[in-house]
Amino acid sequence: MIKIEMGQLQPNTPFMSVFSKVSRYDKFGTKTLYRLTKLARKLNKEMRTIADLRMKLVNEYAQKDESGKFIPMMNEKGEPIPNTFTIPDALQEEWGKKMEEFQKTEIEIDLDPIPLNLVKDEGFNISTQEALILEPILSMEE
């Protein structure tokens, strides 16, 4: 069983960056490739669910204009920053707590972790730092 925090399964996180690197490696054998593909599909499904849940939180806390659109954050010049939203000052602390809880929520994926030695034996050069980042999906046992 793989256990991973929801915060790790969001775009531009170290986990997703390293997993993407592993996923692009084209010299894995069939067994490893199958396991990685199966895992990628399950992760993608979880990521869609996480994005939907995050959007519900944003809808609950973000300021909206009269037409119901999010009010974006402004840069130092007073220009709107694309793809952002504003949380009212009165809700900042509550928003922060909700997001922290959201990020740290652990989910379970019904797959066995992939043995690190299997990945390394097939020629993928993974650094210690990368292995630590991928620790939720890797088994360190021989």
pLDDT digits (tens, 9 = 90+) for 58-92: 999 999 999 999 999 999 999 999 999 999 999 99
Q: Please state the rounded mean pLDDT for residues 7-17.
A: 92
Are 137 and 40 within 8 A, CB to CB?
Answer: no
DSSP, res 135: G
In three-state secondary structure terms, 51 is helix
- What local confidence, expressed as pLDDT, does residue 59 receive? 95
- What local confidence, expressed as pLDDT, does residue 102 receive? 95
Place of tokens 């900042």: 92
Per-residue pLDDT band at 142 (split at 50, 70, 90) = low
Under 8 Å CB-to-CB from 107, ≥6 apart: which residues? 3, 4, 5, 6, 9, 46
- What local confidence, expressed as pLDDT, does residue 39 receive? 93
- What local confidence, expressed as pLDDT, does residue 52 receive? 95
Residue 85: CB atoms within 10 Å? 16
In three-state secondary structure terms, 127 is coil
- What local confidence, expressed as pLDDT, does residue 125 receive? 84
Are 114 and 33 within 8 A, CB to CB?
Answer: no
pTM of the full structure? 0.81
pLDDT at 127 exceeding the cut of 90: no
Are 19 and 137 within 8 A, CB to CB?
Answer: yes
Question: d(Cα 142, Cα 101) in Å, to the nearest integer?
Answer: 34
- What local confidence, expressed as pLDDT, does residue 26 receive? 85
pLDDT at 99 exceeding the cut of 90: yes
